[in-house]
Chains A and B, each alone.
Chain A
Amino acid sequence: MEGWQVVMNKVYITRANAITSMGPDLDALYTGLLENKSGIKKALRFDTAPFVSPYAALIDTLESKNKQSLIFELANQLIDQLPPIDKDCLLITASTKAGIDLLEKKNLIGSTISSKVFPSSLPDYIAQKMGLNNRGFNINSACASSTIAIGKGASLIKLGHADCVLICCLDVITDFTFSGFSALRAMSPLPALPFDKNRQGLTLGEGGATILLMGEKKMKSLNITPLAEICSFGIANDAAHVTAPARDGRGLKLAIKNACAMADISLDKISAFNTHGTGTVYNDLMEINVLNSLFSKNTRANSIKGAIGHTIGAAGGIEMALCVKMLETSLMPGTAGLKDPEKDAEHYFSPDPQKISGDYILTTNSGFGGTNAAIILKRSK
Chain B
Amino acid sequence: MMSIVISGLGWVYTTSMGYAGDIKVLPSSKGLPPIERKDIFKEPYKPFGRMDYFSKLGLAAIVFAMKDANLHGSPHKNTGIIASSSTGCLETDMKYQATLLPENNTLPSPALFAYTLPSCFLGEASIRYGLTGESFVINETDTTGMTGLGMAVDLLAVGQIDYMLCGINNSQIDGVYDADGIDGIDATSIQPGAVFFLLEKKNRNPGSYGNLSKNESNTSFYYKDSPIKNLHDLAQKCVKKNI
Are A and B subunits of one complex? yes
Chain A interface residues toward B at CB < 8 A: 1, 4, 6, 96-98, 100, 103-104, 108, 111-125, 128, 135, 137-142, 144-145, 148, 152, 155-156, 159-161, 175-176, 179-185, 235-243, 250-251, 254, 258, 367-371, 373
Closest 3 CB pairs of A and B: A369-B123, A180-B113, A235-B134
Q: Choose from B127, B138, B201 the contact partner of A370 (Cβ within 8 Å).
A: B127
Contacts A103-B94, A118-B185 given; does A242 touch B127 at CB 8 Å = yes
Contact across chains for A237 and B182 when beta carbons are under 8 A apart: no
Residue total for B at the interface (Cβ-Cβ under 8 A): 74
- Which B residues are within 8 Å of any A CB, using their own CB? 2, 4, 47, 77, 80, 85-88, 90, 93-94, 96-98, 100-101, 107-110, 113-114, 116-120, 122-124, 126-127, 129-143, 147, 150-151, 154, 156-160, 175-185, 187, 201-202, 216-218
A180 and B127 within 8 A (CB) = no
**Distance in angstroms between the alpha carbons of A65 and B180 in the assembled complex:** 14
Please measure, in the bound complex, the distance between the C-alpha atom of A159 and the C-alpha atom of B214, giving whole angstroms: 14
Chain B residues near A183 (CB, 8 Å)? 107-110, 113
Closest to B107 in A: A183
Question: Nearest chain-A residue to B180 (Cβ)?
Answer: A114
B135 lies within 8 A of A243 (CB)? no
Q: Are B135 and A237 within 8 A (Cβ)?
A: yes
- Report the bound CA distance from A155 to B136 in whole Å: 15
Inter-subunit contact A176/B123 (CB<8 Å): no
Q: How far is the CA of A194 from the CA of B116 in the complex (A)?
A: 25
Contact of A124 among B123, B147, B158, B184 (CB under 8 A): B184
* Complex: A251 Cα to B78 Cα, angstroms: 12
Which residues of chain A are within 8 angstroms of B133 by Cβ–Cβ distance?
235-237
Contact B139 A180 (CB under 8 A): no
Q: Are A185 and B123 in contact (CB under 8 A)?
A: no
Q: How far is the CA of A121 from the CA of B184 in the complex (A)?
A: 6
> In the complex the two chains form, is A371's CB within 8 Å of B136's CB?
yes
The winner among A144, A145, A235 for most chain B CB atoms within 10 A is A235
Q: Which of B147, B156, B160, B178 contacts A258 (CB 8 A)?
A: B160
The residues of B that contact A115 with a CB separation of less than 8 Å are 177-180, 182, 184-185, 187
Contact assessment for A4 and B157 in the assembled complex, using a CB-CB cutoff below 8 Å: yes
Docked pose: A112 CA to B97 CA in angstroms: 16
* A334 CA / B55 CA spacing, docked (Å): 40
With both chains docked as a complex, state the minimum distance between the C-beta of A133 and any C-beta of chain B, in angstroms: 14
Known: A242-B47, A369-B122. 7 other contacts (CB 8 A): A6-B158, A112-B178, A115-B185, A115-B187, A135-B141, A239-B132, A250-B132
Choice from B118, B176, B177 contacting A140 with Cβ under 8 Å: B118
What residue in chain A is nearest B98 (Cβ atoms)? A108
Name the distance in Å between A244's Cβ and chain B's nearest Cβ. Answer: 10
Per DSSP, chain A at the interface is mixed
Shortest A211–chain B CB gap in Å is: 17
Task: Please give, as numbers and ranges, the residues of chain B lying within 8 Å of A368 by CB-CB distance.
Answer: 114, 117, 119-120, 123
Question: Chain A residues near B119 (CB, 8 Å)?
Answer: 140-142, 367-369, 371
For residue A358, give the distance in angstroms from its CB to the closest CB of chain B.
26
B97 lies within 8 A of A104 (CB): yes
> Which residues in A have their C-beta under 8 angstroms from that of B181?
116
Cα distance, A124 to B134, chains bound together (Å):
25
Tally the A-B contacts, defined by beta carbons under 8 Å. 220
In the assembled complex, which residues on chain B have CB atoms less than 8 Å from the CB atom of A121?
A: 141, 182, 184-185
- Residues of A with C-beta under 8 A to B202: 1
| B122 touching A116, Cβ below 8 Å | no
**Cross-interface CB contact of B123 among A108, A139, A160, A371, cutoff 8 Å:** A371
CA distance A226 to B137 in the complex (A): 30
A151 and chain B: residue at smallest CB distance = B134
Q: What residues of B have a CB within 8 angstroms of the CB of A104 in the complex?
A: 97, 100
- Decide: A138 near B182, CB < 8 A? Known: A183-B107, A369-B122: no
Least distance between B30 CB and chain A CB atoms (Å): 23
Task: Tell me which residues across on chain B come within 8 A of A184, comparing CB atoms.
Answer: 110, 113-114
Give Cα A183 to B201, complex, Å: 44
- Provided the pairs A115-B180, A242-B114 are in contact, do residues A138 and B158 lie with their beta carbons within 8 angstroms? no
19 contacts between A and B (CB under 8 A): A1-B159, A4-B2, A112-B178, A113-B176, A116-B182, A118-B86, A118-B139, A118-B185, A119-B88, A124-B141, A135-B142, A137-B139, A155-B154, A159-B158, A161-B217, A185-B110, A235-B135, A237-B123, A369-B122
Minimum CB–CB distance from A301 to chain B (whole Å) comes to 24
A246 to chain B, nearest CB (A): 10
For A144, the chain B residues whose CB sits under 8 A away are: 136
- Which chain B residues border A258 with CB–CB below 8 Å? 160
> Which residues in A have their C-beta under 8 angstroms from that of B183?
124, 128, 135
Q: Contacts A4-B2, A115-B179 known; A155 to B151 CB distance under 8 Å? A: yes
C-alpha spacing A99/B127, complex, angstroms? 29
**A237 & B134 in contact (Cβ 8 Å cutoff):** yes
Looking at B87, B97, B178, the one whose CB has the most chain A CB atoms below 10 A away is B97
Across-interface contacts of B101 in A (CB, < 8 A): 108
* Option from B87, B96, B185 in Cβ contact (under 8 Å) with A180: B96
